[in-house]
Homo-oligomer: A and B are copies of this chain.
Amino acid sequence: MQTISENRSFGGVQGVYSHASEACGCEMTFAVYMPPQARQMPVPVLWYLSGLTCTHENAMTKAGLQEHAALHGLAVVFPDTSPRGEGVANDEAYDLGQGAGFYVNATRTPWRPHYRMYDYVVSELRALVLDAFDVEDRHGITGHSMGGHGALTIAMQNPDLYDSLSAFAPIANPTQSDWGRKQLSAYLGDDEAAWGIHDSVLLMGEKGWKGDVLVDQGASDQFLDLLKPETLSEAMARRRQPGVFRMQEGYDHSYFFVNSFAGDHVAWHAERLI
């Protein structure tokens, strides 16, 4: 693991690192915020998964998570959203290929060799973070848009690995959305039976989440047609899933929305992890 940068932030350290990823078969960059409490004792980990077009950097600089992570004593991990590099397949569209890994393990050409963001987040990067940082093996997960989709689907598939869950404006029902059908078809093939474990609405119907879940959605989000929040809200209520679904008046899909509720989400995770 190489250190790309480390900056003092709210008494802790905001670092950016890279490593040769086995899961993705390329060099991967990620960021970790370590709060000041970590100098005394290991702290729990909050995973923040980012949306389409993002790298580790967008949320690290714009979401304002550090202030709240320092207050509560949580580490925050910001993975990249896809494999990267010249030898890695890509597409001209912003929503397929690099920057759009969708948190799945691709099984189809040309994506299969590198696009394994599910394994990367759930296993490889988790092991690296546990090894290289003073953290507890206790994890929460959240994310925005495609990253909200990632957080919900990864947590529901792996209840033993995560103990708190939230999402900002998730792509709720990708098997029924243009943000989803295109990518799941490309990465997993046209047999939709393989898609279901990557759809939070379907997972909510089948298994739900072991704890309670917080979802925030901006009512003025410019991508409501693609995110389909009503499908998740309905699925949560139908299952009697403990949790909170908040429709936030006036907020759009930007980081100004994420930033505005970052404090609530970090507090939510801290209350369940510490």
Contact = CB atoms under 8 A, between A and B. Distances in A.
Interface in A211-236: 218, 220
A268 interface: no
A219 to B, nearest CB: 9
Interface string A183-212: 000000000000000000000000000000
Contacts of A10: 259-260
A72 to B, nearest CB: 15
Interface in A250-265: 250-252, 254-257, 259-260, 263
B8 A220 contact: yes
A137 interface: no
Nearest to A7: B256
24 contacts: A7-B252, A7-B256, A7-B257, A8-B218, A8-B220, A8-B251, A8-B252, A8-B260, A9-B257, A9-B259, A10-B259, A10-B260, A11-B260, A61-B61, A61-B62, A62-B62, A64-B64, A64-B259, A66-B256, A66-B259, A66-B260, A67-B67, A67-B259, A67-B263
A200 to B, nearest CB: 25
A251 B248 CA distance: 35
Given A9-B257, A61-B61, 6 more contacts: A7-B256, A8-B220, A8-B250, A8-B252, A8-B257, A8-B260
A7 B259 CA distance: 11
A256 B62 contact: no
A166 interface: no
- Looking at chain A's contact residues, the main secondary structure is mixed
Contact of A64 (B14, B67, B218): B67
Contacts of A251: 8
Contacts of A260: 8-11, 66-67
Contacts of A256: 7-9, 14, 66
Contacts of A248: 8
A258 B154 CA distance: 34
Nearest to A68: B67
A104 to B, nearest CB: 30
Given A61-B61, A64-B64, A67-B64, A7 B254 contact: yes
A62 B256 CA distance: 11
A121 to B, nearest CB: 24
A256 B9 CA distance: 5
A61 B257 CA distance: 12
